[in-house]
Amino acid sequence: MDWLTGTASEQGRAILAGLVSPVDLTDACLEAISRHPERDRIFARLTPERARSEAIAAHDRARAGLRRGLLDGVPLSWKDNIDSAGTATEAGSALLKGRVPDRDAVVLANADQAGLVCLGKTHMTELAFSGLGLNPITATPPNALDPALAPGGSSSGSAVSVALGLASASIGSDTGGSIRLPAAWNGLVGFKPTPGQVPMTGVVPLCPRFDVAGPLARSVEDCAELFAAITARPAPDLTDARPAGLHLLVLDGVPFDAAREAPVAAFEAAVDRLGRAGVRISRAAPAMLAEVMALAPTLFAPEAYGTWAAHIEDAPEAMYPPILNRFRAGREVSAPDYVAGWQTLDRLRGLWAETVAGFDAVILPSCPILPPDREALLADADFFASENLLTLRNTRIGNLLGLPAISLPTARPACGIMAMGPAGGDLALLRVAHAMEAALSA
């Protein structure tokens, strides 16, 4: 078997059974990267010496019966906003060129302690502030399904590296959809935990109140194991998660406004499949959701600009203009409006929790559109802006409400189905998603 095409969990079990060595897995990934014609558009920089050293240590632990967990010895890629000691971490921005941290981010240090192997850093959207995945400042990875299309962002290289078999899984970050969108557009599973559930020290911030790191992988099991690794917690038990008996709420209304035909059809086909597997399906369009979504311009851009204003205004010419404009929109929001916006959102979060309390998860299309043509986006700033806002529309629901959310592939390429759980209910959501995955792949 070509282990590089398997899930990270399958690779971990193969290591445990002595069928493959972590050294061979790592060398195979590094060789696949070196041979790939688009490697320099996917990886910002590699860490082969670190990877081989970590793989040798994992090999020795396996031989001694001292493995640290299921994924001990499995090679990962890392988004380039996650600090790695002695290796440049530039967050896809010329503003941070040459930035070399002296220690690993906590999530990377935790993964290292769990025995995972660091292959290197992947390209991303500039400072993580776009859902399309374009970055003419450093590099735009090719969409793994069609190189002419946008890859999704901001964890674009993370998704593409996994989808093309160059890494077993990846760790990205999500502020408004940056894990789930590239996962959906590249045929992967992407899990955004609840903010506060993952240590963010050493992750270059965008909007700290929304930012959270999480996995992009080939299965829900992989995401559960990786979530455990980066948080230094035990992995959840998914073995008895079954679709029959689940009660899921289809979130009608806003997620379908101006949605394109293909993502909606793929979602409805997936819902029908879930229903035939014994899942109880309800539908509702809570009126309060429109009020939630209206708060996005008041909250995201001001926090992002407040975080980066000094760097940006020192060298605005170093930025891609559409991204610069997104940041600068934050300076138009007053401090009283920002504070009032958060007070309103806190109230609406409580109302949301009451509204959906009887459901195991809320489901909706991961993205209302298919990935647009990359060159068309680059050629037309207005098209870039309108497609970016629509791209992020559905995923932002979970970010604004402070929820864990996960995107699963559907039968239609580049179309995902997303499930959102209650705030803090990350492990329960992973169990629901595992059951959904079983129904969708049956």
**Domain end call among 207, 231, 255:** 231
Whether 194 and 254 map to the same domain: the answer is: no
Whether 221 and 253 map to the same domain: the answer is: no
Distance CA 158, CA 219 (A): 15
pLDDT of residue 253: 98
For the residues 11-24, what does the mean pLDDT come to? 97
Distance CA 220, CA 405 (A): 12
Whether 177 and 251 map to the same domain: the answer is: no
Whether 220 and 252 map to the same domain: the answer is: no
3-state secondary structure of 23: helix
Residue 291's pLDDT band, with cuts at 50, 70 and 90, is very high
pLDDT of residue 1: 58
pLDDT tens digits, 357-397: 999 999 999 999 999 999 999 999 999 999 999 999 999 99
pLDDT tens digits, 246-277: 999 999 999 999 999 999 999 999 999 999 99
Closest-CA residue to 84 (of 44, 114, 31) = 44
For the residues 115-143, what does the mean pLDDT come to? 98
pLDDT of residue 2: 80
Closest-CA residue to 134 (of 342, 263, 323) = 323
Question: Which DSSP string do the residues of 238-266 spell out, in sequence order?
Answer: -TT--STT-EEEEE-SGGGTT--HHHHHH
Q: Which H helix or E strand runs over 417?
A: strand 416-420
Pick the catalytic residue: 84, 154, 161, 170? 154
Q: Where are the beta strands (DSSP E) in 153-278?
A: 169-174, 189-192, 212-217, 247-251
Distance CA 51, CA 119 (A): 5
**Domain end call among 202, 231, 260:** 231
Whether 148 and 30 map to the same domain: the answer is: yes
Whether 134 and 275 map to the same domain: the answer is: no
**Beta carbons of 93 and 79 less than 8 angstroms apart:** no
pLDDT tens digits, 52-100: 999 999 999 999 999 999 999 999 999 999 999 999 999 999 999 999 9
Q: Which residues contact 81 (CB under 8 A, 6 or more apart)?
A: 89, 91, 92, 124, 127, 128, 173, 203, 204
CATH number at residue 423: 3.90.1300.10
Examine the residue annotation and report whether 79 is marked as an active-site residue of this protein. Answer: yes
pLDDT of residue 141: 98
**Which residue segment(s) compose the domain that 400 sits in?**
247-295+321-441
Pick the catalytic residue: 77, 178, 219, 407? 178
**Beta carbons of 397 and 293 less than 8 angstroms apart:** yes
Pair of tokens at residue 327: 């940041």
Whether 169 and 268 map to the same domain: the answer is: no
Residue 196's pLDDT band, with cuts at 50, 70 and 90, is very high
pLDDT of residue 4: 82
What's 95's DSSP letter?
A: G
> What total number of domains does the chain contain?
2
Is 208 domain-assigned?
yes
Max Cα distance, the chain (Å): 61
Residue 442's pLDDT band, with cuts at 50, 70 and 90, is confident
pLDDT tens digits, 299-338: 999 999 999 999 999 999 999 999 999 999 999 999 999 9
Backbone φ and ψ for 332, nearest 5 degrees, come out as -85, -10
Examine the residue annotation and report whether 154 is marked as an active-site residue of this protein. Answer: yes
Q: What is the pTM of this model?
A: 0.98
Pick the catalytic residue: 9, 21, 77, 79? 79
Whether 333 and 437 map to the same domain: the answer is: yes
For the residues 176-185, what does the mean pLDDT come to? 98
